[in-house]
């Protein structure tokens, strides 16, 4: 792949030089377009862009601008695509497809109302018999659903797994390792995959070919996901190998091998490092037939499979089926029924360990866009599935969200999505769930409803809902007046209250919005001010999750402030989890309701007030003394003073390590766009030094940092402080 990239760069260089010296500029640019068109035709959009971008702005006609937009569209760079499509339209591009492309882009970036209008405009260009109408109408319905559910409570904190795991190509079908908690497998057609670049016929094509999907693995080491490695070379071939699942024991892997990602052969193979050529995998015989386009196999156990199929007798499109093996014989696939399947597609099933909660993806109209992830629970008492429900944002997005897998502890989910903001096509994402999936904690040897399904399998009815929903306009936002340069700044008095939140994690309540508006106003009046926000929480789950969720809540407030024009570098955020409660959780062995109300909050503190004409009054919570927890007061006393804190790790995602369970005073700060984990609020240097050495001995990239008033000190500030502080003097002496 490196040689190919070098070839492209050199080819562009020589064309430019050759044309510049010998030929006209118009001929040179025409040659660039011709080269780009070859890659565009072969769907190598990233390479086509290299050539198209060489054309000067004034020489870009409507058709070229559309192609530039289309390349960006296929690379999931939707904002850039919108810009190019708009320019193409203004220059007279008159193909009706531009309305659809613009609608898709606006849909993907969350501009649902504008997307719906563009969909309708495109719809008016289609004849009444055009088969594309039903799909466009579905997208309009999905925009309506997204508008109605835009403000639902978030079910998780979701993050892209980063540019080591993801690439400009597809990363799909993630599956947690059955043997290692910090490892997962997936498939990708990233550069360097086995077989090299090949055309659609499977022949080598170093210029216009694409890579096939191989299976890869990655592990979490010291808070960061490692660069992926391909699995055994006898498993990965020049064809597509798309991971499906593992056996419950973890020693067998199921995957599908195909030429075209449509039809293929399902294979079960021994998942060992000592595999020998004589043990090369062969097709697996079961009712799940890849050659008939059965796909998305979920292995509940060695005798129970759930999968997607569009075989005859279903409800429309892909349906979910189950098959079981008894006494060595597989049952005919059984449709999971009308409580789960619809006229839309239902794919990518994931059954929890207790067999009672089913996750899947569907493109029904109750979606933010494309495929959304749904869940349903089986009631043994009622002998039925609950109504399948959309799991909500941010797990789901305006794009396709597929192949969810839940960790065995029920706290995290991984899935693939081609949403805006990724690194290329489909990326892998991780979701830190606010509510633990209890069904993963209980391992059942059988699903509780199989006999009921067999009895009901002949009584399924096919229905179709053709209701079209209307899209309503929402009121526009009101712009706030900002302070002008000529305005006289008078003495100001501001009251700062904490931001309280409840079970729903909604920080933007009417009361909190008043506080935030005042904060924005005062920071715009005094641009010298900085703000520090610390989020506190209840002890509700694993300590590392409580801690991480706390900084993510503070992060949402930071995002709000930046959206209002406050510079990012003026905002400091910190998460302390449930380490420092203001109110005791229990009193005389009875839970205190006030703990829920007060311990869930984000405290706001203005920094760099100095000689500014401003008086700040902090309205802290008040409780009777016998309910007050002294942990908070100790924390405030220490954090306001000079303290040493010891770095544990600096990572881009949730950090999970046993060391967190052995240390106290663990805090997360955001630093340079990453999460800095530190331990301790030490007043004396040698205590910090001993903890630092302990962490270094365990392999951590640890260091000692000095804070005052919760703010990291710079080197000049440390040197100045050392003139009067003996502990800081010791720090400098040992550092040197």
pLDDT score recorded for residue 279: 46
Confidence of residue 502 (pLDDT cuts 50, 70, 90): confident
| pLDDT higher than threshold 80 for residue 13 | no
Q: Percentage of residues in the chain with pLDDT exceeding 90? A: 61
What CA–CA distance (Å, rounded) separates 3 from 28?
A: 24
105-109, 475-479, 550-554, 692-696, range with the lowest pLDDT: 475-479
The fold adopted by the segment(s) 492-735 is 60s Ribosomal Protein L30; Chain: A; (3.30.1330)
**Residues 51, 57, 209, CA angle at the centre, nearest 5°?**
15
User: What are the structure tokens assigned to 413, written together?
Assistant: 């989910």
The fold adopted by the segment(s) 156-455 is Neuraminidase (2.120.10)
pLDDT score recorded for residue 596: 83
Question: Average per-residue pLDDT in the chain?
Answer: 86
| pLDDT higher than threshold 60 for residue 278 | no
| pLDDT higher than threshold 50 for residue 335 | yes
Confidence of residue 262 (pLDDT cuts 50, 70, 90): confident
87-91, 194-198, 546-550, range with the lowest pLDDT: 194-198
List pLDDT tens digits, range 422-467: 998 899 999 999 999 999 998 887 888 777 766 665 444 333 333 3
Tokens 């004409």 identify what position?
A: 613
List pLDDT tens digits, range 385-434: 999 999 999 999 999 999 999 999 999 999 999 999 999 889 999 999 99
What CA–CA distance (Å, rounded) separates 376 from 616?
A: 50
pLDDT score recorded for residue 483: 38
- Sign of the four-CA dihedral 579, 580, 582, 585: positive
| pLDDT higher than threshold 50 for residue 654 | yes
| pLDDT higher than threshold 90 for residue 169 | yes
Mean pLDDT, residues 272-289: 62
| pLDDT higher than threshold 60 for residue 471 | no
Tokens 């967190």 identify what position?
A: 660
Mean pLDDT, residues 606-625: 85
pLDDT score recorded for residue 11: 55
pLDDT score recorded for residue 21: 44
Give residues with Cβ within 8 angstroms of 686, minimum separation 6. 730
| pLDDT higher than threshold 60 for residue 62 | yes
Mean pLDDT, residues 90-110: 95
Q: Taking the model in full, what pTM does it have?
A: 0.78
What CA–CA distance (Å, rounded) separates 121 from 490?
A: 52
Work out the burial of residue 518: count CB atoms within 10 Å of its CB; fewer than 13 is exposed, 13-18 middle, 19 or more buried: middle
Which H or E run contains 357?
Answer: strand 357-362
Mean pLDDT, residues 464-472: 33
Count how many Cα atoms sit within 13 Å of the Cα of residue 363 in the half-sphere of its side chain.
Answer: 19
Domain ranges of the chain: 156-455, 492-735
Q: Percentage of residues in the chain with pLDDT exceeding 70? A: 88
| pLDDT higher than threshold 80 for residue 123 | yes
What CA–CA distance (Å, rounded) separates 698 from 660?
A: 13
């Amino acid at each position: 792949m490196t040689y190919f990239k070098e070839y492209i760069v050199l080819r562009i260089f020589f064309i430019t030089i050759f044309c510049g010296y010998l030929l006209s500029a118009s001929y040179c640019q025409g040659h660039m377009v011709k080269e780009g068109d070859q890659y565009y035709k072969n769907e190598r959009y990233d390479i086509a862009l290299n050539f198209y971008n060489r054309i000067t702005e004034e020489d870009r006609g409507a058709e070229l601008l559309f192609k530039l937009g289309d390349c960006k569209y296929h690379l999931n760079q939707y904002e850039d695509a919108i810009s190019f499509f708009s320019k193409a339209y203004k220059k007279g591009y008159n193909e009706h497809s531009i309305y659809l492309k613009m609608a898709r882009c606006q849909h993907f970036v969350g501009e649902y109302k504008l997307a719906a209008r563009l969909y309708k405009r495109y719809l008016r260009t289609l004849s009444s018999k055009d088969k594309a109408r039903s799909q466009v109408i579905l997208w309009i319905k999905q925009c309506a659903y997204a508008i109605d559910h835009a403000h639902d409570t978030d079910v998780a904190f979701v993050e892209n797994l980063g540019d080591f795991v993801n690439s400009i190509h597809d990363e799909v079908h993630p599956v947690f390792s059955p043997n290692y908690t910090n490892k997962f497998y997936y498939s990708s057609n990233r550069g360097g995959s086995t077989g090299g670049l090949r055309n659609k016929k499977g022949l080598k094509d170093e210029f216009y070919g694409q890579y096939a999907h191989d299976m890869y693995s990655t592990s979490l080491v010291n808070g960061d996901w490692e660069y992926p490695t391909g699995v055994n070379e006898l498993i990965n071939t020049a064809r597509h190998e798309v991971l499906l699942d593992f056996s419950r024991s973890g020693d067998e892997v199921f995957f599908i091998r195909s030429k075209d990602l449509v039809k293929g052969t399902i294979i079960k193979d021994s998942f060992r490092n000592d595999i020998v050529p004589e043990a090369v995998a062969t097709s697996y015989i079961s009712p799940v037939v890849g050659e008939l386009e059965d796909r998305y196999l979920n292995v509940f156990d060695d005798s129970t499979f759930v999968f997607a199929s569009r075989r005859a007798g279903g409800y429309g499109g892909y349906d979910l089926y189950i098959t079981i093996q008894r006494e060595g014989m597989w049952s005919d696939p059984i449709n999971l029924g009308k409580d789960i399947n619809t006229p839309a597609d239902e794919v990518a099933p994931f059954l929890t360990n207790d067999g009672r909660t089913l996750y899947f993806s569907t493109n029904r109209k109750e979606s933010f866009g494309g495929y959304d992830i749904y869940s349903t629970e089986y009631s043994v008492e009622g002998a039925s599935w609950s109504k399948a429900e959309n799991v909500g944002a941010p797990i789901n997005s305006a794009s396709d969200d597929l192949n969810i897998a839940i960790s065995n502890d029920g706290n995290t989910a991984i899935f693939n999505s081609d949403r805006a903001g990724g690194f290329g096509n489909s990326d892998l994402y991780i979701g830190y769930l606010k509510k633990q999936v209890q069904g993963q904690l209980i391992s059942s040897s059988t699903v509780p409803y199989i006999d009921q399904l067999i009895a009901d399998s002949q009584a399924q009815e096919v229905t179709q809902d053709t209701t079209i929903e209307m899209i309503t306009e929402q009121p526009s936002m009101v712009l706030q007046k900002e302070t002008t340069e000529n305005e006289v700044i008078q003495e100001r008095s501001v009251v700062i209250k904490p931001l309280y939140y409840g079970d729903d994690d909604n920080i933007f309540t009417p009361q909190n919005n008043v506080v935030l508006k005042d904060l924005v106003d005062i920071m715009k009046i005094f641009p010298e001010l900085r703000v520090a926000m610390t989020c506190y929480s209840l002890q509700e789950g694993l300590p590392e999750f409580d801690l991480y969720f706390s900084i993510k809540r503070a992060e949402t407030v930071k995002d709000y402030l930046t959206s209002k024009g406050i510079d990012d570098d003026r905002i400091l955020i910190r998460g302390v989890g449930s380490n420092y409660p203001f109110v005791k959780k229990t009193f005389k062995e009875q839970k205190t309701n006030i703990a829920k109300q007060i311990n869930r909050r984000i405290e706001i503190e203005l920094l760099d007030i100095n000689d500014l004409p401003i008086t700040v009054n902090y309205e802290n919570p008040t409780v009777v003394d016998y309910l007050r927890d002294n942990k908070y007061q100790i924390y405030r006393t220490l954090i306001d003073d000079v303290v040493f804190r010891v770095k544990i790790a600096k990572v881009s995602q949730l950090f999970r390590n046993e060391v967190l369970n052995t240390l106290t005073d663990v805090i997360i700060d955001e630093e340079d766009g990453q999460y800095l984990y530190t331990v301790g609020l030490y007043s004396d240097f040698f205590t910090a030094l001993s903890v630092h050495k302990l962490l270094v001995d365990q392999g951590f990239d640890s260091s000692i940092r000095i804070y005052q008033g919760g703010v990291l000190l710079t080197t000049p500030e440390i040197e100045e402080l050392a003139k009067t502080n003996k502990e800081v003097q010791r720090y400098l002496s040992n550092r040197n």
